[in-house]
Amino acid sequence: MIRSLVILCAALSMSGCAGLFIAGAATTANIVTDTRTTKEIWQDNNIEFEIAAIGNKAPFKGKTRIVASSYNGTVVLMGQAPTDELINEFERRARDIEGVKNIHNQIKQKEPLSVTQISNDSWITTKVKSALLTDSELNGVKVKVITEDNDVFLFGYVTPKQSERATEIARNISGVKQVIKGFQYGEATEVNATEKEALE
């Protein structure tokens, strides 16, 4: 049974960049199925699209940098805005979007990131994704990674054990300040390689 999306900040003890390795080919994978219907997935995508559109309108355009991730109508807002007024107004408008049930506001009060900072975040995302994809314990597990201002957000359908493993990997990547989990939890089922390809 899928539990509610939970936001948890993992305290960091930086130990440098974790070593990457190529995991051997596996014949089975433990996967937590995305229980959303096609309609629900479409609605989540539409919510993210409409929230992005808010940022392109006054008074946010050119002043803020905000992105969103939606799972079953539970939305996490990430990014930067220079004032509390803009942060609160953005959240208010996001709540008015059809299908939005809950919002976890992780927007920081600060000026939007520079091109250099955005590039650095992209590099961190690449490193985290690579480390997750090549970890044998997470074989077959899909984790969505978003990095904003050196904070790494992790999303997806996983088991509690997979959540802890993914968090541990991400927190040890160089440049990461903190890891924020936005997972939904369920029980894993074992599938073979052919079934895994069909699911993807």
The CATH number covering residue 103 comes to: 3.30.300.30
CATH value at residue 125: 3.30.1340.30
Whole-number Å distance between alpha carbons of 183 and 122: 21
- Do 127 and 68 share a structural domain? no
Which domain covers residue 134, as residue numbers? 8-21+114-199
Enter the DSSP assignment of 76.
E
For the chain, how many structural domains are there in total?
2
Residues 125 and 72 in one domain: no
Domain shared by 193 and 125, yes or no:
yes
pTM of the model: 0.77
Please give the C-alpha separations between residue 168 and each of 30, 111, 120, 187, in angstroms, as whole numbers.
19, 30, 20, 20
Which of 71, 91, 109 is the C-terminal boundary of a domain? 109
Per-residue pLDDT of the chain (200 residues; tens, 9 = 90+): 444 444 444 433 333 333 222 233 333 444 556 778 899 999 999 999 999 999 999 999 999 999 999 999 999 999 999 999 999 999 999 999 999 999 999 999 999 999 999 999 999 999 999 999 999 998 768 899 999 999 999 999 899 999 999 999 999 999 999 999 999 887 655 544 444 444 34
Question: Which burial class, exposed, middle or buried, applies to 34 when counting CB atoms under 10 A from its CB (0-12, 13-18, 19+)?
Answer: middle
Q: Which of 89, 109, 129 is the last residue of a domain?
A: 109
At which of 109, 138, 155 does a domain end? Answer: 109
Q: In what order do the strands lie in the sheet with 8-10?
A: 8-10, 178-185, 151-158, 144-148
Q: Do residue 118 and residue 99 come from a single domain?
A: no
